Amino acid sequence: MNHILLVHHAANRGHAYPAVSPPALQACLQAGARVVEVDISLLADGGFALLHGPMLERETTGSGPIAASTSGQVRALHYVRQGQPTGVNVGLLPDAIELLRQYPRTMELQLDLKPDVYSSDAVLARLVEGLQTVKDRVRVTSPSDWAIRRLRALDGELPLGFDPLLYIEPDYGADSDPSVPPFRRGAYGYWDDHPLSASRWGSAAVYLTARADALWIQAPAGAIWYIDATLLGQALDDGFDWIAYLHGLGAEVDAWTLDAHKPERVALANRLAAAGIDRITTNNAPALSQILGAATSF
C-alpha cells in the first residue's frame, strides 16, 4: 500500500466553524494539518471569496450569484452553518494566504477554483501574482481545465490539479444535478456527453481507457488528478484502473470525498488504498487515518 496523504476537505476537522471560513482554516492549521482544501469563487471585481458557490444563499446571509458581488459586498456578509447565520464574516483569498504565512509547517493549501465563471487571463494573472509569496505551499485545482491550462502558461512552476467532473461522472440517479455538465447518461452507465458514450461499441474497460486518453490531454503536465471516489470505484468494477493508468503517466491521484462515519465509504477508501491511491480528501482526517492505519498522514 502506498503512503496516503489525507486532505482536509473544506477546512473541516471536528471544529464548529463554518466550512472554508478563515476560522475553520486557522483551526486546521493550528492542529498541524499538512494539506487543507478551501474553495475560491470569482467575484465581480476580480477578487476571490472563500465560498463554494455559485449562489450566496447556499453558504451566506446574502442572496444572488457570487460572481455578481464585489469583495466589499461579500465581506459584509456572514457564513451560514447548518441553516443558521453565524457571526463569521465571509473570507477572501488574501485572508487564507495570510493565515498560511503564519503557519509555515503546513505543507500545502489547496485552492479549489470553482468553474462557474470563465476567468480571463487578467483575472488569472492577478491570482498568480497574489500567490507568489507562498507559491511553494499552494496548489490551484479546478474542474475548469481551460483555467488550469492558462495558469500553467502564466506560471510554469505553480502547482496545479485537475478534476474531470465536468466531463465524466458516475450515475447518481435522482441526485444528479441537471444544471451542471455532463448532461447525458451514456450507454456505459456514466454521465458523459462525449460521442464515445453515445452507444456501446466495445467493453466498458475499452471505453473508459479511450475517455481517460482524451481527458489526459486536457490537463497540463504535472497536475495532480482529483477524481470522485465513486467514479474510481465504478471504473474498477468495469475493469479499468484509473489510478494505475495515471501512475503510468507519472501523475498522482486524489479520491474525494471519503468519510469515516459512512461504512460504505470506508470500504471504498480501503479498496482505493489497495489500488495505490496517493491522496484522499475527507471531512475528518484524524478519524479516517485511525481506520486506514499507519500508511496515512494528515
Q: List pLDDT tens digits, range 212-252.
A: 999 999 999 999 999 999 999 999 999 999 999 999 999 99
Model pLDDT, residue 69: 97
Question: pTM for the whole thing?
Answer: 0.97
HSE at residue 32, side-chain half, CA atoms within 13 A, is 3
* Cα radius of gyration rounded to whole Å, the chain: 19
Look at residue 141 and tell me whether its pLDDT is greater than 80.
yes
Under the banding of pLDDT at 50, 70 and 90, the label for residue 118 is: confident
C-alpha closest to that of 17 among 66, 71, 60, 79: 79
pLDDT (tens digit, 9 = 90+) per residue, 72-115? 999 999 999 999 999 999 999 999 999 999 999 999 999 999 97
Asked whether the beta carbons of 275 and 239 are under 8 A apart, the reply is no
Residue 37 CA to residue 140 CA, distance in Å, equals 10
Instruction: With respect to residue 185, please indicate whether it lies within any of the assigned structural domains.
Output: no
Under the banding of pLDDT at 50, 70 and 90, the label for residue 173 is: confident
Residue 77: CATH number of its domain: 3.20.20.190
Phi, psi at residue 20, to the nearest 5°? Answer: 65, 0
Look at residue 46 and tell me whether its pLDDT is greater than 70.
yes
Residues paired with residue 198 on neighbouring β-strands, in sequence order? none
Phi, psi at residue 271, to the nearest 5°? Answer: -65, -45
Under the banding of pLDDT at 50, 70 and 90, the label for residue 177 is: confident
Model pLDDT, residue 178: 79
Model pLDDT, residue 284: 96
Residue 181 CA to residue 176 CA, distance in Å, equals 10
Look at the alpha carbons of 84, 33, 166, 175 in this order and tell me if their dihedral is positive or negative. Answer: negative
Instruction: With respect to residue 208, please indicate whether it lies within any of the assigned structural domains.
Output: no
Instruction: With respect to residue 58, please indicate whether it lies within any of the assigned structural domains.
Output: yes
Model pLDDT, residue 294: 86
**Domain enclosing residue 287, as ranges:** 4-167+218-297
Asked whether the beta carbons of 167 and 160 are under 8 A apart, the reply is no
**For residue 242, what is the DSSP state?**
H
Instruction: With respect to residue 212, please indicate whether it lies within any of the assigned structural domains.
Output: no
Asked whether the beta carbons of 109 and 137 are under 8 A apart, the reply is yes
Look at residue 41 and tell me whether its pLDDT is greater than 90.
yes
Angle at 211 between CA 209 and CA 215, to 5 degrees: 115
H helix intervals, the chain: 22-30, 71-75, 93-102, 121-131, 145-154, 204-216, 229-237, 242-248, 263-274, 285-292
Model pLDDT, residue 136: 96
Under the banding of pLDDT at 50, 70 and 90, the label for residue 119 is: confident
Asked whether the beta carbons of 234 and 170 are under 8 A apart, the reply is yes
Mean pLDDT of the chain, nearest integer: 96
Q: Which three cell numbers stand for residue 64?
A: 444572488
Instruction: With respect to residue 197, please indicate whether it lies within any of the assigned structural domains.
Output: no
Structural domain count of the chain: 1
Neighbours of 288 (CB within 10 A): 23
Instruction: With respect to residue 36, please indicate whether it lies within any of the assigned structural domains.
Output: yes
Instruction: With respect to residue 190, please indicate whether it lies within any of the assigned structural domains.
Output: no
Model pLDDT, residue 2: 84
Write out the E strands in 62-182: 78-81, 84-89, 108-113, 138-142, 160-162, 168-170
pLDDT (tens digit, 9 = 90+) per residue, 189-218? 999 999 999 999 999 999 999 999 999 999
Under the banding of pLDDT at 50, 70 and 90, the label for residue 117 is: low
Model pLDDT, residue 263: 97
Average pLDDT (161-180) is: 88
At 231 the three-state DSSP class reads helix
Model pLDDT, residue 116: 64
